[in-house]
Structure 1
Amino acid sequence: MTYNPLAIMWANGTTNAVVSSRIAYGYYTPPEYEEAKYTVLKTGTHINATHFQLTTLCKGCSRWGDEEIGYTEIEALAEETTFGFAYGNHPVDTPSSADSTIAIHDSIGHPIYNLAVATNADFEAKVAAL
């Protein structure tokens, strides 16, 4: 997932979830990606002793790159958009900190989603009401 922004998340105990914005440049702990800003939405975020679900709104996550490598942009109305995910079995070094060092992932996948079916004409108003 080199040269892609990453939303890295983990549970910090059973009451807190942490989301960290990073960008991958190689096979090592990715540095912070300051272009992406996350807002955790309480609706859809759940944590217990064995599982967690984190729902966020991300601004700055749909376009990335630079003049040197070019830009990539997610096309929201595309019929098919490929995403990537990775999962690690090792806990982060500092669970309370979004800039914690993380281990390399243990498994990966590249699912394809149809983002067009997820559009909502009242999206901004619904987010503002949360």
Structure 2
Amino acid sequence: MNTHSHHAQEEHIGSAPVGSRIDPVFTGEMPARRNRRPTVGIDEFVGRLRVESIYPIFRGFVQVFYVIGLLLAAACAIGGVVALLRTGGGMVALAVGIGLAVLLVLFARLFKETSLMLADMSDAMVRIARNQE
């Protein structure tokens, strides 16, 4: 049995053998990276990433659910005020309404940020993959 048969039958991806792309990662022999400085600020970069997103429908749904969360928060706050006025001093109702409104705003914001972060990471990974080819 030939011990070199593995190297003779090495798979290829594109023009380079698979092993030639993987081995440097494990041996620490990765080529030096280009020391490029960012040409734009992070806010501008993220803004452009979001405008040029390949997931516009997902981002639209995130915005819709965010607005719904804010509307529900406003309804809770208004409900607390109305309950206060109708019951003639029901501070508990006001506190519950305002408390729910604050929680809904926080959760809506958290949902929006984490969802956009997921889409941003996915868009960035697609850009990285494109630049690797």
Which TM-score applies when normalising by structure 1?
0.18
Higher helix share: 2
Higher strand share: 1
Larger Rg: 2
Which structure has more RCO (C-alpha within 8 Å, separation ≥ 6)?
2
Which TM-score applies when normalising by structure 2?
0.17
